[in-house]
Amino acid sequence: MKKRQVLISGGAGFIGSHLCDYYIQKGYRVWCIDNLSTSSIENIKHILNLPEFKFIQEDLITFKTSLLKHKFDMVFHLASPASPLDYFRLPLETLKVNSVGTEKMLEIAKSSSAKFLFSSTSEVYGNPLISPQPETYWGNVNPIGSRSVYDEGKRYGEALVMTYHRRYRVDTRIIRIFNTYGERMRLNDGRVIPNFIAQILHGKPLTIYGNGKQTRSFCYIDDLIKGIVKMIEVDYHLPINLGNPDEFTILQLAEIIQKIAGIKTQIEFLPPLEDDPKQRRPDISKAKKLLHWEPVVSIEEGLKKTLNYFRSLVSQPQWNKKGK
Ligand code: UDP
């Protein structure tokens, strides 16, 4: 029987590489397109030489999709910088991969009659005025601030996906991913969990932007992947929140990480980031009902695994040399 074909943009990234693993294990042929701008070949090195895995190191923005002669069964568009530090550094690339890039991936799905999934974000809610955030909330987004390249990029992406669904009947799905963490994040990724762990492992103070009373809800990667693969199987086209509803202030998170690591370091308060959302917590009632899904990994359990992963990275010579 012919293997089913999956295309994943951003497949060498933190989330994308776990999705590649899932479909390889399920017996699919997996195509991964990634420009490695915020991801790493290390994340896919264990599958790189498998005959059922094909890595295309290209930038989706300039990639000639006509070179893809295959028909795909599923198309996942995950490529995008996702850490604030990355999209501050790559603002135009972020806008383009979520606009031009989304359109290219939608065209591939359309010509393949494939199922399509777009990874959107909780950032579409901006600095939310209600909590928890249900999918019906339209958000409170600054359209011109420095975060807008990501927030508005994803909002445009969602509009495009819905348009392809309505106009061309493409079999689309949209997930709004809330803060996710786990193995294969970069130690210098800039997001709060890798930052705190890197700082603890190097005996440096934990940096907190603002007063640390802002909240986030953190989902462990394995839980998220289970939600994504369930989502592609259901016949539902409106956005769905995927995240863990357990909410913590950033100060609480700092304490939990210190406790798990068994290391106490100082806390350094830095000026707040522009438009940093004050609160974020997903309402996942829709995902629970539709997908029969909810996160099962506690923050302590997920952080222990993540800490072990980062410990093994830090013990590698290149990290010691850089002293990061
Ligand atoms: N944050 C922090 N110190 C850090 C990194 C992040 O206090 O070293 C804060 C950041 O200001 C935000 C929260 O942690 O309020 C989550 O930031 P992250 O970059 O992980 O993701 P975001 O949810 O903002 O996209």
Closest C-alpha residue for ligand 1 atom 4: 192
pLDDT band at 323 (very low <50, low <70, confident <90, very high): very low
Closest C-alpha residue for ligand 1 atom 10: 209
Q: What is the pLDDT of residue 171?
A: 98
Of 211, 224, 213, 216, residue with least CA distance to 192: 216
Q: In 35-108, at which residue ranges do the beta strands (DSSP E only) sit? A: 53-57, 74-77
User: Which CA distances in Å does 6 have to 20, 94, 238?
Assistant: 9, 23, 22
- pLDDT tens per residue across span 17-66: 999 999 999 999 999 999 999 999 999 999 999 999 999 999 999 999 88
Closest C-alpha residue for ligand 1 atom 7: 208
Ligand 1 geometric centre to CA of 132 (Å)? 18
Average pLDDT over residues 290-316: 95
pLDDT band at 160 (very low <50, low <70, confident <90, very high): very high
Q: Going from the N-terminus, what domains does the chain have, and what CATH number goes with each?
A: 5-319 (3.40.50.720)
Ligand 1 geometric centre to CA of 191 (Å)? 6
Distance CA 233, CA 54 (A): 23
Find the residues whose C-beta lies inside 6 A of ligand 1: 83-84, 179, 191-192, 195, 207-209, 214, 216, 250, 273, 276
How big, in percent rounded to 5, are the helix, strand and coil portions of the chain? Answer: 40, 20, 40
DSSP label at residue 1: -
Mapping DSSP to helix (H, G, I), strand (E, B) and coil, where does residue 118 land?
strand
pLDDT band at 322 (very low <50, low <70, confident <90, very high): very low
Ligand 1 geometric centre to CA of 83 (Å)? 9
User: Can you read off the two tokens belonging to residue 235?
Assistant: 């016949």
- pLDDT tens per residue across span 208-261: 999 999 999 999 999 999 999 999 999 999 999 999 999 999 999 999 999 999
Radius of gyration, CA atoms only, the chain? 19
Atom of ligand 1 nearest to the CA of 208: 7
- pLDDT tens per residue across span 75-128: 999 999 999 999 999 999 999 999 999 999 999 999 999 999 999 999 999 999
Asked if 150 is an active-site residue, the reply is: yes
Q: What is the pLDDT of residue 114?
A: 98
Instruction: Indicate the average pLDDT of the chain.
Output: 96
Q: What is the pLDDT of residue 317?
A: 65
Q: Which of 22, 28, 125, 150 is catalytic?
A: 150
Q: What is the pLDDT of residue 152?
A: 98
Average pLDDT over residues 266-294: 97
pLDDT band at 14 (very low <50, low <70, confident <90, very high): very high
Q: What is the pLDDT of residue 319?
A: 57
User: Which CA distances in Å does 96 have to 10, 60, 81, 233?
Assistant: 14, 9, 11, 28
Distance CA 168, CA 71 (A): 17
Q: What is the pLDDT of residue 69?
A: 84
Q: What is the pLDDT of residue 2?
A: 81
Residues of the chain with pLDDT > 70, as a percent, come to: 97
User: Can you read off the two tokens belonging to residue 75?
Assistant: 């198309």
Predicted confidence (pLDDT) at residue 324 exceeds the cutoff of 70: no
